[in-house]
Chain A
């Protein structure tokens, strides 16, 4: 049981949602939230070892050059921590081995799949099995989407949640698997946590723009088999208060935005289990 839940929000090199991500962690109940620049990790001023909850926020790491998250993943793989000589990737893998939580939103999700953190079959967090590629529309788009939660998924962040409404803001969000086998394994293990869905029926949809990028199986977010690593394209940290909702002036909504619940679930899990 962690008596103080400590969250780290990683930023730098083009990440840009770190402030609202940190705010989400606070609203979700974290006792300590630090926004840490990648260079501070690399210089050993901060270490992942001191935290329970790693947040990889949205943004444009390296301007999406070479493909979203691609150069960022490469950096984490190759760079060493100056004070210890340890590979940053090893620090990351230890964090995961220790049973801690990782959430990656949008560019953070892209980063996770390109590092190989997801889907993380057989405790292998370095194998690239899936990717996120260009939207079928080939456009970057900012629009709100309805998400159906797979309640059978092991994801700790979505416990007790059924349907969510968040914005997507990306140009490369179409989820693809290396092959059908990988795709089937993801489905069989209920790792598809969120699906783009029709707001009226709540059913997963392939229809544009409800499915904004053409993701097969309407995949919007997946987790690893432990449920502790979660990546999603939509932005929960963009809906922390009802005034973030695009129709708040015409609908009756609770003050708290639907994004907070994900973070609270993660933080509660840490408090109980770590």
Chain B
């Protein structure tokens, strides 16, 4: 029967979900809604009795203390007056996590498993009162409550509702049957036809690649082999899809491994870069490791799902950061949720598998106050902000992984594509069953076993879709909704399997699904045979190629030795984790896939993984000149500082931070918010991953896309430096620090739609050159990274390209967490030091932006000075000489001084004449000195009795005492002329800093 069970908070309770919906309708859509009441609807599509329906409604589906339930319209039972009803439910096939839990609870109650086709679906009713017209309600439904890509909605006014007696039951069932058809595609066609096949199939294969496939199939030995297996000379859809995802930019990083002809117009130099990745990322890491010799603490770099370093003799640390930009543009909640639970699987699937200990998140959005028309297919930035925030909240919190570090970066160009960076750190014993945990290898004969979630149409073409710009044909199926609990259950189980030695190899199913995970593991043995019809499906109707490349979430692929298979399967059964044997790894040299016993794909492993020719690209660097900011002749320093503190890139992010659990697992040492009222901005996180030890990890990052407007070289230099100095701020040991590079670029390939490709590619080359230079200078090796190269929006003639962005994430060791330092001023009378020279570097600064310009004097990173300074600072912290240390970044000294003061609830008195400055510059303007964003600087407070020793250690690092912490809670600044140029109450400065994102 099809039953609707409606559940709602008793009318005597505040419906806080309804209240917040009302608030968002009022503020985001500016519609005069008076009240919103919500009702949860469970549509039960199962062969159960009326009595069982009632038991379910009164049992697991409702809380007798707080909720009412009804099998009819609850609103009628309540005699609730309302004007409009909107009911929002998922479209068929979209992951409905609560529906899944509801189904499991029903199974327990009726004592049997639901059969195929039986299910529980959830939807939400919003009962809205207010003077609203039908189009207002449609606006609310479309632009706030439902995302039509994944959800459907029903609208009724009160009268319609009363006449119809409520909403008709509707089961969002996927109707389809397994036909298991394999199509053959003739590639012996014209070039235009080849490109049409690629484009219409969302394959993102180039003409050269299509031709390469054609010529492979034409080889006589290939044809003979195919004939034996019953395949024709045409390519099957399974094969074509496999090659499309394996060769996609997303998986193959063609731009980073291609050949670039680089020309610098200013110097006239020309050079050829054979691979950005090999030249500027892999090689510097190799050099750093060689220099460390026997002390090399890197264990596995660039080859696995995440990088691995040694934490101590007992433990290894694993770190990976990913992006999930395109899906988050289409469905912010699902995209971001999948982003975080997806990156969780990377450290989990690295080496023999790591336990996950913290998450990091960096989001780049357009302003939530964006007030221009929104181009087609894009969502309002506020909606993206809230959706992403909530997706990561659910993904992180429900997985029990603390979110310890992150940022929000705003720039109008992220309206075209938001960037959602999600990172996860894991820890694993240095040895698992007597073998180094970072190593793993499938053996011929091992079973291919898939665990976790089932396969649906979700995420099909994710890999190829993110290898293209967002356009009107971007497929809805690329969107998925993650399920953190199914994944958590699987992780609990697989960690036990790891410790019992039940598998040889493990990897995750991410982009490309089984095709990618099995294909990659098959490289260990040189071949595999897989049977697609054995794969567990969410619903019928998937074609073989869809089963193979679906990116349905929460799945790991393992290689299980035959003698361990029974134990492994029994463990999974016991722990309620679905596990299925799909085939075997072999040493046949073949990528061999069958469906119902018939071969649907068979290719040489060598062709699949190495068939690709290197891409040839051109890059041309011609620096751009920008207008200088028109700075006021006599700036009101206090007012300028208030305005800066309120800017989106500087203001408090507490609204987001509080909604993420940042201390689960019990090892929190330096939290994201700190200071006397627990709300100052920490520079980095410190955690203690092993609770009976005081050795800790520091997690930090740097990101400054604005500088790309002048030179992406400086953008990377500054992001690198920022990550390192943030880590140093809290007490990291700069000698044991590793980095991760995540490039998010706009399409840099010259084409009709990208005429400025050579410039954008030159930006990429320069970015990489900077990365290599600073990695070597600081001795901070990159251990893992990722690139996302097509962050453009192109619909009609509107093109929006993101500013070239590098997120540099760092993980470092702190030998004793009890010596960690926070950024808040601690005691009246402490000396305030400004450490590091200030240069007149307002180019692309927040202050220049405040005055409507970019300018040209972009900050430089002077690595020799900086590196010595960081080592000295680390030394001072180890001797416990530092009371507080805060990074100077966006908004310069002014912002850093204000934050140091108000986080500590104390005043600061600083004389700008005592600030160390560049030897070659005579600063004439207080604002330039105060708001310049020169790198590698700190604000440090030191107790007077420790000052001498501190100064001794810091000698030669441009460390000057410039003021004092004072009891009067004001920021008092003496200008270059000797006059007081600002005396602002810290409380007021804090209000300016807190009000912007106080949603």
What's the Cα separation between A135 and B658 when bound, in Å?
Answer: 14
A residues near B20, Cβ cutoff 8 Å: 138-139
User: Is the Cβ of B826 less than 8 Å from the Cβ of A137?
Assistant: no
Q: CB of A144 within 8 A of chain B?
A: yes
B residues near A247, Cβ cutoff 8 Å: 674-676, 678
User: Is the Cβ of A14 less than 8 Å from the Cβ of B488?
Assistant: yes
Q: CB of A43 within 8 A of chain B?
A: yes
Proximity bits, B484-498, A CB within 8 Å = 1, else 0: 110011001000000
Given A65-B97, A66-B98, A78-B109, the answer on whether A135 and B63 have CB atoms closer than 8 Å is no
B residues near A243, Cβ cutoff 8 Å: 669, 688, 817-818, 820
What's the Cα separation between A43 and B572 when bound, in Å?
Answer: 13
Given A65-B97, A167-B663, the answer on whether A74 and B108 have CB atoms closer than 8 Å is yes
User: Which one of B64, B661, B669 lies within 8 Å of A178 (CB-CB)?
Assistant: B64
A22 to B, closest residue via Cβ: B691
Stretch with Cβ within 8 A of B (4 or more), from A124-132, A186-194, A223-231: A124-132
User: Is the Cβ of B904 less than 8 Å from the Cβ of A250?
Assistant: yes
A74 to B, closest residue via Cβ: B60
B residues near A62, Cβ cutoff 8 Å: 101, 104, 485
Quote the shortest CB–CB distance from A258 to chain B (angstroms). Answer: 14
In the complex, chain B residues 719-760 whose Cβ is within 8 Å of any chain A Cβ = none
Quote the shortest CB–CB distance from A124 to chain B (angstroms). Answer: 15
In the complex, chain A residues 1-31 whose Cβ is within 8 Å of any chain B Cβ = 11-17, 19-20, 23
Q: Which bracket fits the contact residues of B? A: 35 or more
Quote the shortest CB–CB distance from A134 to chain B (angstroms). Answer: 5
User: Is the Cβ of A17 less than 8 Å from the Cβ of B666?
Assistant: yes
Q: CB of A140 within 8 A of chain B?
A: yes
What's the Cα separation between A84 and B19 when bound, in Å?
Answer: 48
User: Is the Cβ of A140 less than 8 Å from the Cβ of B826?
Assistant: no
User: Is the Cβ of B101 less than 8 Å from the Cβ of A244?
Assistant: no
In the complex, chain B residues 452-508 whose Cβ is within 8 Å of any chain A Cβ = 483-485, 488-489, 492
Given A133-B9, A250-B824, the answer on whether A138 and B661 have CB atoms closer than 8 Å is no
In the complex, chain A residues 148-187 whose Cβ is within 8 Å of any chain B Cβ = 167, 169, 176-178
Quote the shortest CB–CB distance from A259 to chain B (angstroms). Answer: 9
Q: CB of B660 within 8 A of chain A?
A: yes
What's the Cα separation between A176 and B13 when bound, in Å?
Answer: 9
User: Is the Cβ of B663 less than 8 Å from the Cβ of A66?
Assistant: no
B residues near A16, Cβ cutoff 8 Å: 399-401, 488, 664-665
B residues near A64, Cβ cutoff 8 Å: 398
B residues near A244, Cβ cutoff 8 Å: 663, 666, 668-669
A residues near B666, Cβ cutoff 8 Å: 17, 19-20, 23, 237-238, 240, 244
21 A-B residue pairs with Cβ-Cβ distance under 8 Å, sorted by A, are A14-B489, A19-B691, A20-B667, A23-B666, A63-B483, A63-B485, A65-B485, A66-B60, A67-B63, A70-B63, A71-B60, A78-B109, A137-B16, A138-B20, A140-B659, A169-B664, A244-B663, A244-B669, A249-B821, A250-B822, A250-B904
User: Which one of B65, B670, B821 lies within 8 Å of A130 (CB-CB)?
Assistant: B65
User: Is the Cβ of A14 less than 8 Å from the Cβ of B398?
Assistant: yes
User: Is the Cβ of A249 less than 8 Å from the Cβ of B65?
Assistant: no
Proximity bits, A43-76, B CB within 8 Å = 1, else 0: 1000000000000001110111111001100110
Quote the shortest CB–CB distance from B19 to chain A (angstroms). Answer: 6
B67 to A, closest residue via Cβ: A67
A residues near B822, Cβ cutoff 8 Å: 249-250
User: Is the Cβ of A240 less than 8 Å from the Cβ of B691?
Assistant: yes
Q: CB of A123 within 8 A of chain B?
A: no
Known: A67-B63, A238-B668. 4 other contacts (CB 8 A): A19-B665, A39-B574, A63-B485, A247-B678
A residues near B671, Cβ cutoff 8 Å: 246
Instruction: Count residues of chain A with CB under 8 A from any CB of chain B.
Output: 62
Q: CB of A136 within 8 A of chain B?
A: yes
What's the Cα separation between A74 and B56 when bound, in Å?
Answer: 10
User: Is the Cβ of B398 less than 8 Å from the Cβ of A63?
Assistant: yes
User: Which one of A66, A79, A138, A143 lies within 8 Å of B17 (CB-CB)?
Assistant: A138
What's the Cα separation between A240 and B485 when bound, in Å?
Answer: 27
User: Is the Cβ of B104 less than 8 Å from the Cβ of A63?
Assistant: no
Most chain A beta carbons < 10 A, residue from B483, B661, B692: B661
User: Is the Cβ of A142 less than 8 Å from the Cβ of B16?
Assistant: no
Quote the shortest CB–CB distance from A108 to chain B (angstroms). Answer: 13
Q: CB of B312 within 8 A of chain A?
A: no
A127 to B, closest residue via Cβ: B64
User: Which one of A37, A71, A131, A237 lies within 8 Å of B492 (CB-CB)?
Assistant: A37
Q: CB of B646 within 8 A of chain A?
A: no
A residues near B660, Cβ cutoff 8 Å: 142
What's the Cα separation between A141 and B663 when bound, in Å?
Answer: 12
B390 to A, closest residue via Cβ: A140
What's the Cα separation between A75 and B105 when bound, in Å?
Answer: 7
Q: CB of B292 within 8 A of chain A?
A: no
Q: CB of A114 within 8 A of chain B?
A: yes
